[in-house]
Amino acid sequence: MSATTTFVILSIIKSVAVIFVLLTAVAYSVWLERKVSARIQNRWGPTRVGPFGLLQPLADGIKFIFKEDLMLPHVYKPLYIAAPIIAVLFSITSIAVIPFGNSLDIPAFHIGSWTVGPISTPFQVAADSAGDINIGLLIILGITSMGVYGVALAGWASNSKYSLLGGLRASAQMVSYEIALGISLIPIMIKSESFSLRAIVDAQRHLQWNIVYVPFGTIAFFVYLISAYAETNRTPFDLPEAESELVAGYHTEYSAMKFAMFFMAEYANMVTVACLATLLFFGGWLGPVFGPSWLQILLPVFWFCLKVFFFMFLYVWVRWTLPRFRYDQLMAFGWKVLLPMAIANLVVTALYEALKA
Amino acid sequence: MLHLPVFLIFGLICVAGAINLLVQKHPINSALSLVVVMASLAVEYLLLGAEFVAAVQVIVYAGAVMVLFVFTIMLLNAGEEEHTKGSRVALLLGVPGIAIGGVLVSWTVLRHSNTAPVPIGALPGPPKDVALLLFHDFLLPFEITSVLILIAIMGAVVLASRPEAIVRRLRRGEPAQKAQKPEKRELAVVGKER
């Protein structure tokens, strides 16, 4: 097979595999959320479908598909339909540039008369010939910043006051916290001297994780974590969909699969943000590696997934522990606390690194 | 190999988006067409090898500036645009003007262009090259531009801020407008009835 054919086939296989894993992770993080919230509130959570309610996401999916898809008369149709698609599209796209591990190396093997391989491909959907993307972090920031459109347009196109208020809150909140989020990451870029996610992980070898890069990395991590919660509209920043004030916020007027798409987008965004936190602050796939060669390939991926799982759990834990902010508190916190903190951290880190060099 | 077709496709999308921006009557549709223009421009930059500029184009223009546009349109609940006499004049003068301008630009470009194609990577594109240009070769213009932007921000703050007196009153917990005293005549009337 020529290099191009191999590349195309590998890319398709990797895309399908990663999207499958991502969507499964999304479905099961909903299950996780329900189970953990039940545990926190001294309830059982889903128990009926399958052992421990493990088939509940499947049942939910079937329910969403078979529910009536209401098309309301008062909505602005093109954007009403486009909004959930935009939301899901951008939330799933950003997973393409995230590296999960070193690289997958399979020696040549035979299927009948065909010789396959040797295959050597990085654990990453989109990568150039060197197995890397040198602006990976910027691409993720760009795609997540485009994700606002799904929420904002849903609120506007629904033509209902609750939706509009939810959409306005969401876009104002996401634009505000994006600045703090972006600036909080620059110290990490300065330290690693790269935008490439692989280079950033490689700079954290020998337990030099950025979270223990005291105090710059630690401050950056907490600013990032808080802004990431606001970016994904999770409690304590879930003002855009505050049940007690706005019914359901921007997706009030959506039903069936269109509603499920917003749901998927929210959880996929959570996974992306958790992946980014893992890569930037917790050493990505780095961890103890031992055993036979196949285990040495798979263990880094396992460590990566374990760290991402920790952040997903943290998300759920925080959601069911903290109450919601008031909207003016949210804005004041973003602009008057997080942003100055991120900028001060950036300036001090830049000075420190410049003097050290 | 695949670069040229993709470049042409996104060029077409970009132009189509720009035309759609003018044709659409509702401001939100126009704003979204502008997003399409910005995003396809980013793809063009990427295909030309300017990765950093492409990423910044998406983050700043498509992601931040246009979101604020959409936000403002939503907030003001802007309706469909109405045609006035001025817009007809603009149409009559603008279309020939654009045609003449386009012909002039393409004529100049075709006449003076160097026909040898520039290979990707020949021009500064990766973040390191851009950083060297910005912070080394063109440091002074870059810093002066940032001062210009600072002035714009200060102007916006001054325009949006409320007069000092009202701010002080709000801090004391009083309403922004001074409460009007009830007119004496009315009181007198009430008194008489009693």
Chain B contact present for A162, CB below 8 A: no
Mean pLDDT of A278-305: 84
Share of chain A above pLDDT 90, in %: 4
**ipTM more than 0.95?**
no
Between residues 26 and 45 of chain B, which touch chain A (CB distance below 8 Å)? 28, 32, 35, 39, 42
Average pLDDT of chain A, as a whole number? 84
Facing residue for A152 by CB, picked from B39, B64, B70: B70
Partner-chain contact A164 B59, CB within 8 Å = no
Instruction: Report, as an integer, the average pLDDT of A308-337.
Output: 87
To the nearest 10 degrees (0 to 180), the angle between helices A339-356 and A161-192 is: 10
pLDDT score of A1: 58
Q: Name the DSSP letter for residue A102.
A: E
Closest-CA residue to A55 (of A45, A65, A64, A46) = A46
Residues of B in contact with A240 (CB under 8 A): none
> Among A307, A298, A301, A133, which residue's Cα sits nearest to residue A211?
A307
Retrieve residue A94's tokens.
């950003």
pLDDT tens digits for range B75-123:
887 777 777 777 788 888 888 898 999 999 988 888 877 666 666 666 7
pLDDT in the model for residue B121? 61
* Nearest C-alpha in A relative to B52: A135
Q: Distance of CA A223 to CAs A176, A179, A217, A306, B60, Å?
A: 13, 11, 10, 22, 21
Domain that residue A103 falls in: 72-356
Give yes or no for residue B12 having a pLDDT over 90: yes
The confidence score (pLDDT) of residue B147 equals 93
| Separation in Å, CA A256 to CA A117, A161, A234, A262 | 44, 21, 22, 11
In a domain, A259, yes or no: yes
Question: What φ, ψ does residue A147 adopt, rounded to 5°?
Answer: -60, -20
CA distances in angstroms from A327 to A238, A334, B46, listed in the order given: 10, 11, 39
Sorted by sequence, the CB contacts under 8 Å of residue A17 that are 6+ apart come out as none
- Residue B16's pLDDT band (cuts 50, 70, 90): very high
Minimum mean pLDDT among A78-82, A323-327, A330-334: which range? A323-327
pLDDT in tens, A48-59: 887 888 888 888
Q: Report CA-CA distances (Å) from A81 to A194, A247, A292, B31, B34.
A: 39, 20, 50, 17, 19
Q: Answer yes or no: is A93 within a domain.
A: yes
**Is residue A175 in a domain?**
yes
Q: How many domains does chain A have?
A: 1
Q: What is the pLDDT of residue B101?
A: 92
Mutation target among A85, A135, A189 for the B interface, most CBs of B within 10 A: A135
Residue A16 lies in a domain: no
Cis before A236 (ω within 30): yes
Cβ contacts of A167 on chain B, cutoff 8 Å: 74
Q: Is the pLDDT of residue A140 over 50?
A: yes
Q: How far apart are CA B6 and CA B46, in angstroms?
A: 11
Beta-carbon separation of A156 and B55 below 8 A: no
Q: Assess if residue A60 is contained within a domain.
A: no
Greatest mean pLDDT range, A249-263, A289-303, A336-350: A336-350
Who contacts A94 (Cβ-Cβ below 8 Å, separation ≥6)?
A: A139, A140, A143, A144, A272
In a domain, A316, yes or no: yes
**Tokens read off for B7:** 């470049």
Q: How confident is the model at residue B194 (pLDDT cuts 50, 70, 90)?
A: very low
Q: Please tell me if residue A156 touches chain B, with a CB cutoff of 8 Å.
A: yes
- Residue A103 forms part of a structural domain: yes
- Confidence band of A204 (pLDDT split at 50, 70, 90): confident
Q: How far is Cα A356 from Cα B64, in angstroms, rounded to an integer?
A: 35
- DSSP secondary structure of B105-174: HHHHHHHH---SPPPTTSS--SHHHHHHIIIIITHHHHHHHHHHHHHHHHHHHHHHSPPHHHHHHHHTT-
Using alpha carbons, list the distances in angstroms from residue A97 to A17, B119, B183: 14, 25, 70
> What does the pLDDT read at residue B144?
92
